[in-house]
């Protein structure tokens, strides 16, 4: 039976949405995808999601609401990413996302909330198998659909690629040798430039810029232009060339995080931290803008680690939530770029207030 | 001979206002008094009791006393109340007395706001605002003052707007700065006030009523119920019509009086009330750091002259039972 | 080497017993107070959760008294607790302290070997055989279990005591006496004495106290300072409290986890609502809520620190349990800004609500008095509730 599967365009959709789309199409199903985040989706999400959750999770709830109201779906897939890399995770909310949605959004069609372990080929196949049996499709169809979807995903995405015939051992070896990402199993590279961050890419090309700013944070905060009030474009207009963590190779990130007391276990934070430190040490950027959602538990730690690892580099932490006013964001970004300009003119011996700004958003 | 009439006295000492009511045995409200607490609860209560005694007829008796509000323990110690109850229970009791079939109570007072859900007159769920003062009476007062509008007209400004602006604000400080910004970009006062009302109501609902079904009848009480702009925003966003009780501003005190009456009847009919003459005593409150244990609790002691009436806040038990 | 460790409930007594027995120098940080919280918050990132702030307060105070090694437990996420040691070492380095962190962890990455290696950092100079050392550790674990039992018993009996305050007094006196003793044997005797004493207090079985489960984030339910001494409060009110999370539960869970035999009861009771582990104790919280309902408790209170990621997931699920099972659950969020007044108001209102519900379930008439005269209709009440009440 042909079913219509809803795919919410929230959280890690820019990186993995394409894979879901082609997987379900290959399986012979119909799909419905929610539009880019907009005011209405945000309001829907804020209206039903538990209040203490962070903005991107609320926005995700909004996308699910939108699909419920307009998607005419028989089922909605809520990706439950358990691991992107072995023994690492993203955030507890990703592991419990299907339950959060199920018990917060009333009137939903059935949910596909099968756990996804992206760190191994077996994990991915198990996911495909479980989803197929849920939909009443054959196992063999599931595997071939997954195979096709993965090949397509790897063709397009430079980010989280998967070998078409992956096997764990070779991946480990490749990882150790520091081979290029394409040959690594499930090697994630943060912003997949060809999907979610196409806009960012255009901005980064222009080399003739006054200064370079690293735009870091959880990818769903950095990529969703509505959620972060278009911070990338704003920075570009203020004369900045933007560097994201996609520009830092897996090998470099691995080297940078090795100096930590403890192996970090949040995959996405690991990239933010590794990239920040690498860009700082190679003197590749003049400052860092870190987009953080209010009440993000992970950011409260990672920002401190980054601050510690990039001593003296101006760091602006932009807090976003559903109450954030655009005026406040504009003020902070302007002040920050002014500061970078002053540093360029007067050298890095910036006046005292510069240190203040670099300590976070509180001063401005 | 005067006819002996017994009244239950309800006292609600909040951070913004101190309210007193007299309720007869069948639940009719005979007297109400609304005073500003002004950060001096003892003085406010003495003032209130003084005014109250002037209004009593010879032969009127006070047969039960209940206190509620954030100063309930202080007031309870001063008058030796029969019942010292939290304001959620008091508001629920009052509301179901006014409207026995009430299902939802929206209460917004000076410093906090709450929502109470009832099933057949029994509270079955409630929530109280967590961190912030935005959306409460004092915040609205301040914004009215800042815009130079008398608070009584604040709500009617909102009703005149046809395109409310969107005001961002998780908390009072941010809401205010966003409002100032909107003002500077040239929005009309009406639109800003309407936007503020809507933002406050939206915040209230997201904060307190998330995932809950708001069933009618819905009572709206607390000082902010006087604000027609807020009431209209609630009705628009909820799609229900609100019932605003006649004595919406003293519902906490009313509930305390009802609960006190109930308790006195259950205890055999005698009140512990210290009598209205108690206001002649020299009350004072002192807070000391207890050194009974390493916790260094801050203990509040209520004195009448040099006699300690009550104290609370310690963990070690040195200062008497909580 | 002078070892210190952060507070969490009564853990300090068991750790003290252990170090006494092993003859290791240690410093117990002063108990959590407003002052230590202030100190901890000052040096912590603003948005970090409350347990970290208290943890920092403890460590800094212990350093001031001469500690140079910190013993803490760890995890590998995804909850922030796993990063505590990393973050703390950065903050302390900035303050100019150079400390050794010994992180005890039994997760997959570390393994049993790694665990023993880390412990041996402390115990290698102890002149004891390996067997003796293991026995000492087991003694301390047994003591912890004993303390937890005493505490649980006091929290139940407080609902039935004839002389108000007996249970609270005996419990707190026993803990204070334990602190003056040396070694697991002496402390164990003090606790045993209290256990005997508490069983002999006059009780009134006619009393039918409210029974409330405390669920939620493990630190904030166990460490009384962080939950504003909610269990002491309930002892004062004469309400029976049951808490599943205890230090000894945590130890059992930790040991059984590699065998996947941990908390089978909670796995079962949480299956309907959250079938997977999500980090922290989010799944346990959901399981405890269902279990409390199955056991016929009157209600449950979830306590979590502001911003706690796993508990936020649980908080999103609890309303569904509340609706499905008609089982009241109150969520209390604590951080350093938590005002005592509002906190207590909520608890009191919750207890009032539970009382009224009982009256209704038992077919009694609830009237908000006098005037409304609403006699609630007799309710066909929840079977499991009736059964449990019948037993009591």
Judge if B113 and B230 occupy the same domain. yes
Nearest CA in chain C to A309: C90
Alpha carbon of C56: minimum distance to chain A alpha carbons (Å): 14
Judge if B273 and B182 occupy the same domain. no
Angle of the B87-98 helix axis to the C340-361 helix axis, nearest 10: 50
CA B211 vs. chain centroid, Å, equals 25
Q: Which of A34, A31, A105, A44 is nearest to A75 (CA)?
A: A31
In a domain, residue B14? The reply is yes
Mutation target to probe the C interface, by most C beta carbons within 10 A, among B94, B315, B321 is B315
Residue A51 to residue C312: CA distance in whole angstroms: 9
Residue B91 to residue B99: CA distance in whole angstroms: 12
Residues 6+ apart with CB under 8 A from B42: B74, B78, B283, B284, B285
Chain B partners of C345 at a C-beta cutoff of 8 Å? 70, 86-88, 128
- Closest Cβ–Cβ partner in B168, B181, B206 for A51: B206
In a domain, residue B21? The reply is yes
For residue B178, is pLDDT > 70?
yes
Residue C109's pLDDT is what? 64
Residue B317 to residue C347: CA distance in whole angstroms: 20
In this structure, what token pair is assigned to residue B85?
């109850």
Q: Which of A150-159, C100-109, C342-351 ranks highest by mean pLDDT?
A: C342-351
Mutation target to probe the A interface, by most A beta carbons within 10 A, among B177, B184, B187, B211 is B211
- Subunits with 3+ C-beta pairs closer than 8 A to B: A, C
Residue B145 to residue B216: CA distance in whole angstroms: 34
Range name among A104-113, B43-52, B291-300, C12-21 with the lowest pLDDT average: B291-300
In a domain, residue B322? The reply is no
Nearest CA in chain A to B168: A323
Residue A357's pLDDT is what? 42
In a domain, residue B318? The reply is no
Q: Is the peptide bond before C348 cis (omega within 30 degrees of 0)?
A: no
Residue B246 to residue B239: CA distance in whole angstroms: 22
User: Quick check: B315 and C370 CB within 8 A?
Assistant: no
Q: What is the mean pLDDT of residues C261-285?
A: 88
Residue A177's pLDDT is what? 30
Residue C216's pLDDT is what? 94
Answer whether B260's CB lies under 8 Å from B64's CB. yes
Domain annotation for chain A: domains and CATH numbers: 4-173 (no CATH), 198-363 (3.40.50)
Residue C362's pLDDT is what? 66
- Put simply, whether B292 touches C (Cβ < 8 Å) is no
Q: How far, in Å, are A82, A95, A131, A189, C40 from residue A85 at the CA level?
A: 9, 14, 21, 11, 34
The DSSP result for B137-194, as a single string, is HHHHHHHHHHHT--HHHHHHHHHT-SSPPP---SSHHHHHHHHHHHHHTT--HHHHHH
Residue B153's pLDDT is what? 84
For residue C94, is pLDDT > 50?
yes
- Subunits with 3+ C-beta pairs closer than 8 A to A: B, C
Residue C218's pLDDT is what? 93
Judge if B191 and B119 occupy the same domain. yes
Alpha carbon of B190: minimum distance to chain C alpha carbons (Å): 34
* More confident site: A170 or C310: C310
Three-state DSSP at B239 gives coil
Q: What is the mean pLDDT of residues C43-51?
A: 87
Q: How is domain C209-392 classified at the architecture level of CATH? A: 3-Layer(aba) Sandwich (3.40)
What are the φ/ψ torsions at residue A52 (nearest 5 degrees)?
Answer: -80, -10
- Of chain A, the percentage scoring pLDDT greater than 90 comes to 26
pLDDT in tens, C366-378: 333 333 333 333 3
Judge if B67 and B164 occupy the same domain. no
Mutation target to probe the C interface, by most C beta carbons within 10 A, among B125, B264, B293 is B125
Task: Tell me whether strands B17-24 and B29-36 are parallel, antiparallel or unpaired.
Answer: antiparallel
Judge if B177 and B213 occupy the same domain. yes
Q: What is the mean pLDDT of residues C181-192?
A: 94
pLDDT in tens, A55-113: 999 999 999 999 999 989 999 999 999 888 878 888 888 999 999 999 999 999 999 99
pLDDT band at residue A182, thresholds of 50, 70 and 90?
A: very low
Judge if B70 and B132 occupy the same domain. no
Q: What is the mean pLDDT of residues A303-322?
A: 87
- Put simply, whether B258 touches C (Cβ < 8 Å) is yes
Judge if B236 and B288 occupy the same domain. no
Q: What is the mean pLDDT of residues C249-257?
A: 85
Chain C partners of A90 at a C-beta cutoff of 8 Å? 78
For residue B312, is pLDDT > 80?
no
Chain C partners of A300 at a C-beta cutoff of 8 Å? 45-49, 80, 307
Question: CATH: 3.30.70, 4.10.280, 3.40.50, 2.60.40. Which one for C3-126?
Answer: 3.40.50
pLDDT in tens, C329-378: 999 989 877 777 788 888 999 999 999 888 877 654 333 333 333 333 33
Q: Which of B76-80, B192-196, C138-142 ranks highest by mean pLDDT?
A: C138-142
Chain A partners of B201 at a C-beta cutoff of 8 Å? none
Residue C16 to residue C143: CA distance in whole angstroms: 11
In this structure, what token pair is assigned to residue A119?
């760190």
In a domain, residue B109? The reply is yes
- Put simply, whether B236 touches A (Cβ < 8 Å) is no
Q: What is the mean pLDDT of residues B171-176?
A: 65
For residue C291, is pLDDT > 90?
yes
pLDDT band at residue A205, thresholds of 50, 70 and 90?
A: very low
Q: What is the mean pLDDT of residues C10-21?
A: 93
- Closest Cβ–Cβ partner in B70, B86, B258 for C348: B86
- Closest Cβ–Cβ partner in B168, B206, B210 for A325: B168
- Closest Cβ–Cβ partner in A48, A294, A323 for B211: A48
- Of chain C, the percentage scoring pLDDT greater than 70 comes to 90
Window B:113-142, CB contacts with C under 8 Å: 120-126, 128, 130-131
pLDDT band at residue A157, thresholds of 50, 70 and 90?
A: low
pLDDT band at residue A180, thresholds of 50, 70 and 90?
A: very low
For residue A199, is pLDDT > 60?
no
Q: Which of A245-249, A291-295, B262-266, C60-64 ranks highest by mean pLDDT?
A: C60-64
Predicted ipTM of the assembly: 0.83
Residue C225's pLDDT is what? 92
Give residue B43's domain range: 5-92+252-280
* More confident site: A170 or A19: A19
For residue B53, is pLDDT > 80?
yes
- Of chain C, the percentage scoring pLDDT greater than 90 comes to 53
Chain A partners of B181 at a C-beta cutoff of 8 Å? 325, 327
Q: pTM for this structure?
A: 0.82
What are the φ/ψ torsions at residue A108 (nearest 5 degrees)?
Answer: -90, 150
In this structure, what token pair is assigned to residue A331?
């003020």
What are the φ/ψ torsions at residue B214 (nearest 5 degrees)?
Answer: -95, 105
In a domain, residue B265? The reply is yes
- Put simply, whether B235 touches C (Cβ < 8 Å) is no
User: Quick check: C86 and A262 CB within 8 A?
Assistant: yes
Q: How many domains does chain B have?
A: 3
Residue B169's pLDDT is what? 58
For residue A356, is pLDDT > 50?
no
Residue B239's pLDDT is what? 87
In a domain, residue B216? The reply is yes
pLDDT band at residue C14, thresholds of 50, 70 and 90?
A: very high
Window A:74-113, CB contacts with B under 8 Å: 104
Residue B240 to residue B216: CA distance in whole angstroms: 7
Q: What is the mean pLDDT of residues B68-84?
A: 87
Helix locations, A67-96, DSSP H: 92-95
pLDDT band at residue B63, thresholds of 50, 70 and 90?
A: confident
pLDDT band at residue C184, thresholds of 50, 70 and 90?
A: very high
Q: What is the mean pLDDT of residues A124-147?
A: 89
| H or E stretch covering A338 | helix A326-346
CA C126 vs. chain centroid, Å, equals 31
- Mean per-residue pLDDT of chain B: 82
Q: B259: domain CATH number?
A: 3.30.420.40
Judge if B181 and B239 occupy the same domain. yes
């Amino acid at each position: 039976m042909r079913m219509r599967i809803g795919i919410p365009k929230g959280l890690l959709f820019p990186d993995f949405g394409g894979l879901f789309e082609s997987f379900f199409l290959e399986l012979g199903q119909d799909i419905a995808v929610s539009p880019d985040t907009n005011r209405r989706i945000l309001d829907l999400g804020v209206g039903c999601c538990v209040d203490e959750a962070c903005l991107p999770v609320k926005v995700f709830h909004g996308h699910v609401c939108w699909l419920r109201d307009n998607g005419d779906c028989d089922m909605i897939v809520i990706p439950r990413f358990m691991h992107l890399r072995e023994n690492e995770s993203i955030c507890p909310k990703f592991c419990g996302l299907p339950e959060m949605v199920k018990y917060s959004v009333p009137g939903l069609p059935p949910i596909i909330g099968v756990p996804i372990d992206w760190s191994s080929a077996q994990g991915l196949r198990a996911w495909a198998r479980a989803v197929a049996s849920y939909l009443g499709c054959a196992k063999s169809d599931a595997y071939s659909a997954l195979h096709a979807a993965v090949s397509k995903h790897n063709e397009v995405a430079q980010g989280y690629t998967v070998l078409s015939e992956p096997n764990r051992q070779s991946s480990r070896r490749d990882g150790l040798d520091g081979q290029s990402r394409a040959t690594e199993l499930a090697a994630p590279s943060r912003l997949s430039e060809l999907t979610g961050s196409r806009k960012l890419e255009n901005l980064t090309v222009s080399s003739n810029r006054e200064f370079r700013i690293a735009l870091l944070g959880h990818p769903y905060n950095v990529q969703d232009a509505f959620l972060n009030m278009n911070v990338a474009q704003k920075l570009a207009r203020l004369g900045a060339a933007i560097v994201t963590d996609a520009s830092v190779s897996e090998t470099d990130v691995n080297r940078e995080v090795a100096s930590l007391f403890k192996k970090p276990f949040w995959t996405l934070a690991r990239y933010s931290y590794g990239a920040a430190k690498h860009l700082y040490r190679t003197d590749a950027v003049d400052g860092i803008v870190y987009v953080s959602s209010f009440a993000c538990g992970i950011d409260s730690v990672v920002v401190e680690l980054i601050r510690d690892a990039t001593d003296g580099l101006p760091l602006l932490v932009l807090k976003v939530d559903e109450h954030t006013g655009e005026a406040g964001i504009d003020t902070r970004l302007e002040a920050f770029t002014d500061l970078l300009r002053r540093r360029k003119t007067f050298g890095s011996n910036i006046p005292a207030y510069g240190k203040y700004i670099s300590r976070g958003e509180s001063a401005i | 001979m005067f006819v002996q009439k017994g009244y239950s006295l309800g006292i609600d000492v909040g951070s913004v206002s101190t309210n007193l009511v007299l309720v007869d045995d069948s639940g009719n409200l005979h007297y109400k008094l609304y005073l500003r607490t002004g950060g001096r609860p003892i003085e406010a209560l003495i003032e209130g009791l003084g005014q109250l005694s002037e209004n009593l007829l010879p032969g009127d008796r006070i047969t039960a006393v209940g206190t509620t509000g954030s100063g309930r323990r202080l007031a309870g110690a001063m008058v030796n109340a029969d019942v010292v109850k939290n304001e959620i229970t008091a508001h629920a009791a009052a509301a179901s007395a006014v409207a026995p079939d009430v299902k939802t109570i929206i209460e917004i007072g000076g410093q906090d706001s709450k929502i109470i859900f009832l099933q057949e007159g029994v509270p079955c769920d409630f929530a109280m605002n967590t961190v912030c003062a935005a959306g409460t009476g004092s915040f609205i007062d301040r914004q009215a003052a800042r815009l130079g509008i008398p608070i009584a007209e604040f709500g009617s400004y909102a009703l005149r707007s046809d395109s409310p602006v969107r005001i961002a604000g998780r908390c009072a400080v941010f809401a205010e700065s966003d409002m100032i910004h909107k003002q500077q970009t040239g929005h009309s006062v009406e639109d800003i006030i309407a936007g503020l009302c809507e933002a406050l109501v939206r915040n209230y609902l997201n904060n307190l009523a998330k995932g809950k079904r708001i069933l009618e009848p819905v009572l709206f009480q607390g000082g902010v119920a006087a604000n027609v702009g807020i009431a209209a925003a609630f009705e628009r966003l909820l799609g229900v019509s609100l019932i605003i009780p006649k004595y919406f501003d003293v519902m906490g005190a009313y509930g305390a009086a009802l609960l006190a009456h109930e308790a006195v009847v259950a205890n055999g009919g005698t009140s512990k009330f210290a009598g209205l003459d108690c206001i002649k005593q020299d009350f004072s409150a002192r807070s000391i750091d207890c050194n009974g244990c390493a916790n260094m609790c801050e203990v509040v002691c209520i004195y009448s002259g040099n006699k300690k009436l009550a104290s609370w806040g310690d963990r070690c038990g040195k200062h008497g039972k909580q | 080497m002078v070892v210190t460790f952060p507070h969490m409930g009564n853990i300090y007594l068991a750790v003290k017993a252990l170090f006494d027995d092993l003859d290791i120098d240690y410093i117990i940080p002063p108990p959590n107070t407003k002052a230590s919280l202030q100190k901890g918050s000052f040096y912590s990132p603003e948005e970090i959760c409350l347990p970290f702030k208290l943890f920092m307060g403890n460590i800094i105070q212990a350093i001031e008294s001469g500690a140079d090694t910190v013993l803490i437990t760890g995890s590998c996420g995804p909850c922030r607790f796993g990063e505590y040691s990393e973050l703390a070492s950065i903050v302390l380095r900035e303050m100019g302290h150079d400390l050794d962190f010994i992180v005890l962890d039994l997760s997959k990455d570390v393994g049993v070997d790694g665990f023993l290696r880390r412990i041996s950092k402390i115990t290698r100079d102890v002149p004891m055989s390996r067997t003796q050392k293991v026995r000492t550790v087991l003694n301390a674990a047994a003591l912890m279990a004993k303390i937890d039992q005493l505490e649980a018993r006091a929290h139940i009996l407080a609902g039935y005591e004839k002389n108000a305050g007996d249970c609270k007094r005996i419990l707190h006196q026993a803990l204070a006496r334990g602190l003056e003793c040396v070694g697991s044997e002496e402390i164990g005797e003090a606790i045993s004495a209290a256990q005997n004493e508490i069983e002999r207090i006059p009780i009134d079985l006619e009393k039918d106290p409210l029974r409330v489960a405390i669920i939620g984030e493990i630190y904030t339910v166990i460490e009384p300072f962080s939950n504003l001494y909610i269990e002491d409060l309930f002892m004062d009110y004469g309400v029976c409290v049951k808490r599943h999370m205890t230090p000894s539960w945590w130890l059992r869970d930790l040991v059984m986890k590699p065998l996947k035999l941990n908390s089978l009861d909670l796995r079962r009771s949480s299956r309907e609502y959250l079938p997977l582990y999500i980090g922290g104790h989010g799944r346990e919280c959901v399981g405890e809520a269902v279990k409390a309902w199955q056991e016929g408790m009157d209600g449950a209170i979830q306590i979590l620190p502001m911003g706690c990621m796993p508990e936020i997931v649980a908080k999103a699920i609890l309303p569904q349990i509340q609706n499905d099972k008609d089982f009241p659950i109150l969520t209390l969020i604590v951080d350093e800004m938590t005002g005592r007044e509002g906190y207590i108001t909520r608890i009191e209102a919750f207890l009032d609500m539970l009382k009224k519900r009982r009256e209704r379930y038992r077919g009694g008439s609830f009237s908000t008095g006098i005037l409304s005269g609403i006699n609630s209709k007799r309710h066909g009440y929840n079977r499991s509730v009736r059964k449990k009440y019948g037993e009591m």
